Structure 1
Amino acid sequence: MLPGDGEHTPLWADTVRGLAHRVLGSVAESVRFASSAASDGARGAGRAYAYEAKGGVLTVAATDGVGASVGLHHYLREHCGRSVGWDTPLPLGLTSLPDAPLHQGAARVREGYYFNFCTFSYTMPYWNWADWEREIDWMALHGITMPLAVTGHEAALHAAYTLLGLDDDRIRGFLGGPGYLPFQFMGCLDDFAGPLSSSWIDGHRELGARILDRERAFGMTPVLPAFTGHVPREIASAARAGRRQWQGFETWVLDPADPLYARIGAEITRAQIKLFGTDHLYAADPFIEMIPIDADPAFPGAVAAATLAGLRAADSEAVWLMQAWPFSYQREFWTEDRVTTFLDAIPGDRMLVADLWAEHDPLWGQFDGFSGKPWLWCSLLNFGGRTDPVADLRGVPAGIEAALAAPRPPTGIGLSMEATRNNPVFFELAADQIWNRVPDLDAWLDAYVAQRYEGRRTAELRAAWRGLLDTVYSAQSLRAAPDQFKGVLLTNPSYTRTPDISRALWYEPSVLAQAWERMIAVAEQEPGLVAGPLGHDLVETGIAYMARVADRRYLEVVESAGGPEAVARFLRVFEDLDRMLACRPEYTFQRWEAKAVSWAAGPGDRAVLQDNARRILTVWGTSDSPLLDDYAGRHWAGLVGGYYRDRWELWARDLGRALAGDVGAEAELRERLRDRAETFLREGAAPVVPGDLAAESRRLHTAYAGVLEDER
């Protein structure tokens, strides 16, 4: 029941009221918030809300600020036909709040987890407070209670290593470039693409504190980073330590038997608590994608004990959150005995395991349910920031329900994507199940479409989305990772390695073309919708179709042995798609780079920021290493029509020689591609000119919709 007028105003009310004003504008004056106890249905999860609207006034009572935000969002979805997504224009523009009967909701799980260390490199390394405020609002509206929070952690590392005797220049050099910091925090690399500037450390210390203050004001419990054993070479040289390799990068890690391991862990944790406070949750992945330096099956358990000892020396209430990713990524090493030995070294109430890729490769049914540790069902989907739509939507509710019905169900549901702002339908679906069961995906999708597009042109847009559901969003059992699902557009050309494009087209392309046509027609009839989510979805759908057109044109070039007409048609795909992408700012490389250099405090700082922004999306590491090349590739204007197009033009130049058996062609191509990469790192992408998205989409559809008719 809703509380009476005399109920005490909760501490979180002002925070949620601020969210309501950002979402609703002046109409938020008609929203009241109050505290309530958990309902019977929320006894396990402990979070609940109730809302009721009468005479234009909406009252939301909840157990906490996140519950109140979810209640507000559910009211908007169910009675106003509006939802708030990553790209929804705000405020919503409502002029009144319709009456609604009393409705109660309860969380199905205790926690909603959010982020992945990689997300902080591939999406928000250069965000400012305005970006973060919008994101935290999204988190609250979608039931996120446990966000990973790594912004500003470099300040804690700087403070701790200063106490340990390293000077400022060496510490900033060790930390490396700002765009790569999350990989530094995971222990994957150091001394790379930097140094880090003092102004960056100071600015992000302040930004990180502000982010945490807001998250806590909603009632969230942020997860802060923790020590992984990774140390500077100066420290390693005087301690028991070993070298590790990750994707061509060498780092040093302490042996857990060295007392310095727990001491440094404690110093970093203390420094972090001093700067940012704590909610007693800490994320550390001491192995992640690196085999332990000692093959003894007991060694991982020693690492676990030392990691926890360092945390508890600084915070006696510390709980360690660890991603289960190593057990999947390097399953040949992580046998059941090794995993069990590692997990058993940690008391059950001191660890929380994130089953990171549970929608595709769930581990929760193995390892004796993570040795009885509490765990999170997480959806990953996205590797590096891929911008083409792909998912198995029908598999998500089934996977979550199976986990919730297990003898040891998850304590939370999480979104652990490597980058946000892609495939929003997938992540909205996963997040919705923190509070709601989804027994009928088709009904859920119909509601999603109506709410996403303000209830306008619903029939046409629902038909378009049924087409997407039957094509790109029907990717059952597909490993949507760069090593297996990557079309020609984002592939670094080679004469000796043929792109595997067969996995990328498992559906009838004419159905996708028809869905695209329906979206374009709505965009032409409702231009006001294009600035919002419809524009994003129109671009994603165009990418999905044009990526397969590029695959087809590539085959035509090979079949013609590099014939000039086939090459011209192939390269035109890149140019035409680039024009469409330029219509939407978030699909332009120049926006990414502009956000990066906005943090520059001087010319040297600007050069590092530009380099990081350019490097991580292209060669990732160095231009002569293929290990992570294009891992974070994006279908963005400036990249597609510039960097990617130019590479394929270089490839086409000597294709005839290569097909004729000239063994030197590949080496010459590799050298030219290195030169092109180095040029991009120096000069970046040419500016792009925005156009009309509906018009450019129509132009592409008219020119290319029939290209794939005989593909299947």
Structure 2
Amino acid sequence: MGDAVVETGRIPGARVVPGLLLLLALCVPSSSLPLPNLASGWMDGIASRLDSQMATSAAQEAAARGVLERLLPSHIFAFQFRIISKELCDGRSCFWIKNIDNLRRSGPAIKIEGTTGVELASGLHWYLKYWCGVHISWDKTGGVQVSSVPPPDLLPQVDDRGVVIKRPIPWSYYQNVVTSSYSFVWWDWKRWEKEIDWMALQGINLPLAFTGQEAIWQKVFKIWMDFFGGPAFLAWARMGNMHGWGGPLSQNWLDSQLYLQKSVLSRMRDLGMTPVLPAFSGNVPAALGKIFPSANITRLGNWNTISGDPRWCCTYLLDPSDPLFIKIGEAFIKQQMKEYGDITDIYNCDTFNENSPPSNDPAYITTLGASVYAAMSKANKNAIWLMQGWLFSSDAAFWRPQQMRALLHSVPFGKMIVLDLFADVKPIWKVSSHFYGVPYIWCMLHNFGGNIEMYGILDVIASGPLNAHESENSTMVGVGMCMEGIEQNPVVYELMSEMAFRSQEVQLKGWLKSYSKRRYGKSVPEIETAWEILYQTIYNCTDGIAVRRFSFRETITDSHSPHLWYSTEEVTKALELFLIAGDKLEGSLTYRYDLVDLTRQVLSKLGNQIYLDAVRAYAEGDVDMLTHQSQRFIELIGDIDTLLSSDDNFLLGSWLENAKTLATSQNERRQYEWNARTQVTMWFDNTDTNQSKLHDYEFEGKREFPLEEWRREWISYSNKWQAGVEQYPVKAIGNAHVIAKGLVTKYLS
């Protein structure tokens, strides 16, 4: 832990921020300022406003105790929490871990002090992690390991002078605008409470909060019809990619999601988080054009539909330069403030996400950007526009330097923050002079569609944010995790969350050894060696992102070959080491998850090779070989299915049952199940002969799920399956270690 921002002993006095610097930051064009100081001055300038929107110190301390009670109820009286001023930490957010003098050890043993409830929870996690060997991950990736925590009266002491850890950068951001559909869509409050606890423990203080916004829009537009689609596809309706698909939404859904959002926001606020709420991006119902015939409304192009079906294609965009844009945007934010109170100044808006503006004229783009911000600031004079920078990566041909500058400089300095969304693979800050002076957050995208492929770039995570922050003229103000889907690759997110508190590059070999011990509750040499191999192979992808969907084709082309960036032989060695260690880790849920996941990964790559051999046999007219490889492939699918059925976290049934649980009528039940089934298969529309263009985009390797698609037969089967109601198991069957060992012997010996 020596490479975090750590100090021991008395905290130095508060840093005084010159008022002149803040004045310059607000008045002078961003491109002409000394940028590192500018970013610092800007953050200091808005901190007091954001702090004023948080809950009281007492409420934040109580919220932190609640996190502890849910995590480790036996130790609720062993810790003491206290909110302290940032002045004690040089004006930065921090936590301070101290011993409590208590000779009898009958009361609290450890005091955690922090500048917010998030810092208190982060300090608790840091202590439990590095002094007690605790591991915390999502339940679906093995859950928590707290068996290593000593009894309350035997908790280990820290340095006598205490340990202080300061954030080198202010913010830790969380979520992607589509995570709400891929991961959160079927959640109730109980699941949300767990997630907010996880967020606080990981140091997240700037979370996206998108739940329930359709209820706000209903009150603003007063025109509903089929504007938004079904629950599993709301993210893309919000972005203006589609409308109506999987819908309509029931009033029960609207009301219950709004109620849920209020609970989510209340807990976030109690912990001292600054939630990011949605703003108006210009996406409007078609009916609006009939009410305002003179409004500048454009029908956008086809987004991934097969035949341009008007039921969900195409959406309508109100031009930001139209006066109606500001009126609607103002009304939306005011309605949010009426429902939720004055809880944030930061709003997300992605007007041009995978939709290019109608003109590339920089003057026009400047006008658009200014109008988007005006719609926010008219309702909240302190509004800050947070924008995903995905457009600069996905549509780089349009967003050249002139166009980027025009958009980024269209609002007053300090009123925009950009998420460098794909910085782990394709950092935009490097090719845009740190977004031409605009504050930005270095983000790890990592995951597309909730796919559970084992994948990561640990070296980049351990160094990338630091390199960006320390580079000349940096305007970086945070780190972020912007995965499309959560609950996969826990090692990646454990490391990334720590980067919010680290000022030096993580030495990964030692960190992974510590991670292995924490995750499984003990040191196991075979497991430690296996993780060294995984670090050099699966978690060392240097050529992009692990995402590739399959279709059966008569020939093999580079564009449809599996993406393989590591030695399968080495990863098989890691799997064999995991199996050897099985007797030492019996009963460990984290071990079981990792064993099943790694075995699935190895067998899936074997399946890729069998698939390629089958295609090659077909192309060469070798009927016997084609038959043999096809039979092997089908048999392998069945065996992987058996493997995945041995761990609850890989079961399709849970996804489907969670969807149905939210329904209050039979119609809702059928609709929600169809949404859940469709998202993990065809995803979008298809015809009798053409697959959806997004088929299997969100395939997650869930149990009992067909992998290959066989033209017309598969399309017909998929349509029937999507409309089906058959139930699938939600509880694991079989011994994962025995099954994995048998499959390795069968296929890899």
Partner of 1:679: 720
Partner of 1:615: 678
1:335 and 2:400 correspond: yes
1:448 and 2:515 correspond: yes
Cα drift, residue 536 of structure 1: 2.2
Q: Is the 8 A contact 1:492 1:630 kept in 2?
A: no
Cα drift, residue 403 of structure 1: 0.4
Cα drift, residue 685 of structure 1: 6.7
Partner of 1:508: 567
Gapped regions of structure 1 (runs ≥ 5): 651-668, 707-712
Q: Is the 8 A contact 1:360 1:479 kept in 2?
A: yes
Change (3 A) 1:45 1:329: farther
Q: Is the 8 A contact 1:614 1:684 kept in 2?
A: no
Q: Is the 8 A contact 2:520 2:585 kept in 1?
A: no
Ranges of 4+ aligned residues in structure 1 off by more than 4 Å? 53-56, 88-91, 496-503
User: What amino acid does structure 1 have at the position aligned with 2:455?
Assistant: V
Partner of 2:501: 435
Partner of 2:177: 117
How many residue pairs get aligned? The number is: 659
Cα drift, residue 43 of structure 1: 3.1
Query: Which of 376, 391, 409 is equivalent to 2:441?
Result: 376
Change (3 A) 1:499 1:129: farther
User: What amino acid does structure 1 have at the position aligned with 2:124?
Assistant: L
Structure-2 separation of matches of 1:122 and 1:144: 20
Cα drift, residue 521 of structure 1: 2.8
Change (3 A) 1:598 1:474: same
Partner of 1:47: 94
- CA deviation profile, 1:474-527 (whole Å, cap 9, x unmatched): 111x22153xxx2xxx52323367575756333222211111122223334322
Cα drift, residue 703 of structure 1: 1.4
Query: Which of 137, 144, 147 is equivalent to 1:85?
Result: 137
Structure-2 separation of matches of 1:311 and 1:202: 25
Structure-2 separation of matches of 1:604 and 1:617: 21
Structure-1 separation of matches of 2:578 and 2:99: 36
Cα drift, residue 408 of structure 1: 1.5
Q: Is the 8 A contact 1:590 1:685 kept in 2?
A: no
1:473 and 2:539 correspond: yes
Cα drift, residue 356 of structure 1: 0.2
Change (3 A) 1:459 1:54: farther
Identity of aligned residues (%): 29
- CA deviation profile, 1:242-289 (whole Å, cap 9, x unmatched): 121332341100122221111111111111111223311100000011
Partner of 2:212: 152
1:58 and 2:110 correspond: yes
Structure-1 separation of matches of 2:63 and 2:297: 47
Partner of 1:234: 287
TM-score (structure 2 length as normaliser): 0.84
Q: Is the 8 A contact 1:53 1:100 kept in 2?
A: no
Query: Which of 105, 128, 153 is equivalent to 1:76?
Result: 128
Cα drift, residue 394 of structure 1: 1.3
Match of 1:233, SS state, is coil
Gapped regions of structure 2 (runs ≥ 5): 1-8, 12-55, 306-312
Partner of 2:52: none
Query: Which range moved further: 279-288 or 368-377?
Result: 368-377
Q: Is the 8 A contact 1:524 1:694 kept in 2?
A: no
Structure-1 separation of matches of 2:100 and 2:451: 41
- 1:173-322 → structure 2 map (5 Å cutoff): 173-237=226-290, 238=293, 239-245=295-301, 246-248=303-305, 249-277=313-341, 278-322=343-387
Structure-1 separation of matches of 2:742 and 2:91: 54
Structure-2 separation of matches of 1:215 and 1:392: 30
- 1:541-620 → structure 2 map (5 Å cutoff): 541-561=598-618, 562-563=623-624, 564-620=627-683
Query: Which of 677, 682, 692 is equivalent to 2:735?
Result: 692
Partner of 2:492: 426
TM-score (structure 1 length as normaliser): 0.89
1:22 and 2:76 correspond: no
Partner of 2:24: none
Cα drift, residue 572 of structure 1: 0.9
Cα drift, residue 673 of structure 1: 2.5
1:458 and 2:524 correspond: yes
Structure-1 separation of matches of 2:451 and 2:391: 22
User: What amino acid does structure 2 have at the position aligned with 1:315?
Assistant: N
User: What amino acid does structure 2 have at the position aligned with 1:678?
Assistant: N
Structure-2 separation of matches of 1:409 and 1:296: 26
Partner of 2:469: 404
Cα drift, residue 559 of structure 1: 4.0
Change (3 A) 1:120 1:672: same
Query: Which range moved further: 516-525 or 598-607?
Result: 516-525
Q: Is the 8 A contact 2:455 2:546 kept in 1?
A: no
User: What amino acid does structure 2 have at the position aligned with 1:70?
Assistant: S
- CA deviation profile, 1:604-647 (whole Å, cap 9, x unmatched): 111211111011111111123532111111111021xxx225x3
Cα drift, residue 144 of structure 1: 0.3
